[in-house]
Structures are given as structure tokens and as C-alpha cells.
Structure 1
Amino acid sequence: MPKQNEFVISKYQNEKDFQKNYAKLGKKITDVVKHKLGGVTANDPEYWGLREMLTPEMVDMLNKMKVRRHYTLDDLIKLHKGVDPKHIEEVYEQMSVIGIIEYDYGDNYTHNLKDDHPIPNAPKIKRYKLSFFVPGSAELFNSSVDRIEKNPAVTSFFERMTFIPLAGITQMVAPGGMGIGMHVIPVEKAIDAQQESISLEKISYWLDKYEGHIAAGICSCRASRAVLGDGCTDDVNDWCVQLGDMADYTVETNRAHYITKERALEIFELAEKNGYVHQITNIDG
């Protein structure tokens, strides 16, 4: 595994005033087996990355949650008994903007491959979720240029959390990724030569399903690596496309802007011309 990039070092890395509640949260979220079993130290990114971004109050609240479980505001009020409901909502909205919390408005889409679309007049109940680091909060910490400029150490945190979980495992992963982390889907032109294709594997399927809920934002990978002195010549803007609930979340938290289906196809076609690979995360579908 590559050594940690030293362009940006967190002021909290190896701090002497060790905060156990941050280590507890890092252990809860991480998928690094060694840290899951043995705990998190002040030298681990799960610790100093959270120290950079969260207040002690936020950490204490998050330590009461389960990872990747949805909580409505009513659920959170029950979870944090004795705390003013308005304050609870304010803190969770702040954490949503930071990126440690994601949210959606319920499962408001049909699941019919032949006619998949939003459910008309479906109730919109906001549900908060504590997600993984990658894919998840480590990326969201880096999801806008102003966030990175305000706290450059998040770039080092993201870089570490993309390497450490797969250390010692990568060499055993077969070509194609075996479904770990990301899932490759082809654009229309790439599948013309195939005899059969499943609609789920076509980008147009997703664009049709989520039309009106499509957004584009910066490439957090490109933006963060540039700060670490390892960037590329590409413009960072509008390479990452979000769909459905994630599009709404990224727009509402000032990470992205809505785009049309046609604009999304332009982005994908340009990406294919550049030789890029289209990927989606495996954890939500």
C-alpha cells in the first residue's frame, strides 16, 4: 500500500489529547478489519478525519446511530431523549451539509424494469443515514472546492480511506473488481456489439427513471488529488453525476446542480471519448 501523502497532514494526527468518542465513531463506521477488531488510534484516518470535521456533540449523537440505517426526525428525537427537537434537527442538517450524514425522502420510485418511474404524490419523509467512509462521507467531505479550501486535511483523509480498507486484499481481486466498491456499467455505444443487454445495465435506464432528479458536481477524486500534488489536467467540474435521492441531497447541500438528461448524456459521451469507465456504487442496489 502506498505511504501516506505528506502534502497535507492533519493537526489531529497522533494528537496526545486522545478523544475516545471520536475513536469509537471511527471504529463504528470503518470497514478496515484491523481497526474494526482492534480499535482506532490517533494515527488512523478514521480518527483524525472525524476530528477535522465534527464537534464533540455531533460525535456523541452519531455514536448512538447504527450505520446505514434510516432514521426519521421522530426516530432521532426518541434516540436523543431530553434534547430539544429543534436542536436535534439543526445539528443533523449541519451534519448533512458536512457530509457525515446523508438523507433521502423515502423509497418513492417503482421497481418495474419495463416501466420504472417516480411514484406520483408519494409522501416525502426525510430519512437520515450514517454512511460508510468510501463510498460515503470521505468523498462528501471533498465534494466541493470551498470545502476542500476550508479544510485541506480532508483530502488526505479521503486518500487514506481509499487505500487502507483494501490493503492486502487488492491482489486477490479478479479483473472487473468482483463487485467490490464500484460496479461498471457501459454507455449505449459500448454495448451495441453485444447480443443481449439488461436494461439495468444501460445508462439510459437510470436517466429515464430519475429524469428531473439528475445532478452533476465536481469530481472529488480529481479535486482532492490536486491538493495533494497529484492531480491531472482535467477540469474537476461536472464529472460526477448523481441520480434520484442522491441528486436531491447533493443539490440541497450545495454540492451539485440539477442537469437535464441530455446534459448527462453529453457528460457520459465525453467521458467515453476520453477513455473513462462509468461506475456506480454497489452498496445501494
Structure 2
Amino acid sequence: MIDFDILGVVEGPWRKSWTSDDALRYAVGVGAGELAFATENSFGVAQQALPTMALALTHFTEPAQVFGDVDLTRVLHAEQSLVLHRPFPVSGSIEVRRQVTDIFDKGSGALIVSRVDAAGPLFSAVSSAFLLGEGGFGGSRGPSSRAPMPSRPADRRLEFATASNQALIYRLSGDRNPLHSDPSFAARGGLPRPILHGLCTFGITCRLLIGAFAHGDAHRVTGISSRFTAPVFPGDTLLVDAWLDGDTVAFRTSTSAGTVIDNGRLSLLG
């Protein structure tokens, strides 16, 4: 049962610190082979941190977010957005605060929206968790967040084959949810085997888009958002269809089974 008293409560601040090694570990976790992301000592190449590392840093490394007495195998990551107020640095230390801003009744489940702010300001992130079976409490359904995708053929199609141990590498950046590593826990959630972290798929997608539309310069990213629609299994090949419109890239990520990330938007500095 959802604890509705969490609504509006500001938690924190917590101090979060990270090093160059953490940035390298995250980059490898999202499959980076680019020297700027995956090395710190390549001649003529300055190390950069991928912007989506901000989400790994704050999403699971602060005290665990508690929604109430709910079955964690039935909690799904539904939506994610990230706004960067300046480029995410290779190392640093920040204070973060978290707040549940909305609890929506979607009928078949509840959607809990949380916001994290990093002082500075460095970045702000909004994530939505869908709690299966927790709807029907009579609350507002909330606004529709679905942005229409372009109807023309994609400007680029990008591809990345995830490794069979991709989730085991990515979890070293802080997300130790057993849904991504423990077969018995995954089975309790009705899954045939552990799935890849949604934020790993998100990070891989962002990395591919940076290479295709920002010439590999992560400092040009000012924001990214998307909706998660289906699980990815380690070993799946990701296909990212992308449409450029000015300084915004619309994107959709799929596997052979169908769409896994939809309504994506990446914002770039001109």
C-alpha cells in the first residue's frame, strides 16, 4: 500500500562525490568504447563524463526511496528526464535533495513522480515509477506526457549490441537492484531472466546520440528525456532511430521485440 504521506516531503540534503574512476566505470557500463569517455590518459584526448552519469549517481546511491509497503518486483521505471545547468564534470562533490511531487492514479497502477536537484545548480532530474496494482485510489490521472514523434523516416539509425553481462557491469555504478542480476527475483516479477537497467538503456542511447549529433562532445548536452515502454534483456541489440530538428533530437529505441524507449528528446547547445 502506498504511503501518501511522502507526497511533497523534501528529503536530504545528501552529499554525493565521484571520481574520474567512477566516470570511467559508468562509461564502460553503458558500453563506451570512445576514448574520451572510457580512458583518462589517452594522448591528446581529454576525459569527459557522460551526462547521464548524473542519474546513476543520484538515483540509487542516496538512501533508498520508500513508497510504502509495496512489492518491489512490481515497481517499474516509467519515465526519466534530466536537465543539465552546466556540463557534468569528470569528478566532483554536490549536495542533492529529493521530493515526491505527484502521485497519479492510472487505474491499473499508481505513477509516483520524484524530482532530484543538485546544488550549484548542476542538474535537475525527474523520474516516474509505475507501481503495478496500486491504482484505483481515486486520485487524478495526471497530464499526458507523450510528445508526438516525427512521421518522416529517421535521419539516422544507430545500433549497439549489448553484452550478455551488460547489467552486471552497469550495476557497479550503484544500482544493485536484484531485478537486474538475480534470476529468482526476476522470476517473482514474472520475467524469464534478469533485465537490463532502464537507465543503462537510457545511457547507451544518450551516448550513441552524442556521437551521431554532437561530434562526441558531451558538453553540448543540456537535457534528455524519454518514456520507458518495455524491458531490455542483456544481449539484445538496441536500434536507435533519431530525427534532428534544430538543436533537438527526437529519438526512439527498440529491440527485435519492439519499442523499449519512446518519446525521447535530446537537447543540444547550438
Q: Using structure 1 for the length normalisation, give the TM-score.
A: 0.27
Q: Which has the larger radius of gyration?
A: 1
Structure ranking higher in helix proportion: 1
Q: Using structure 2 for the length normalisation, give the TM-score.
A: 0.28
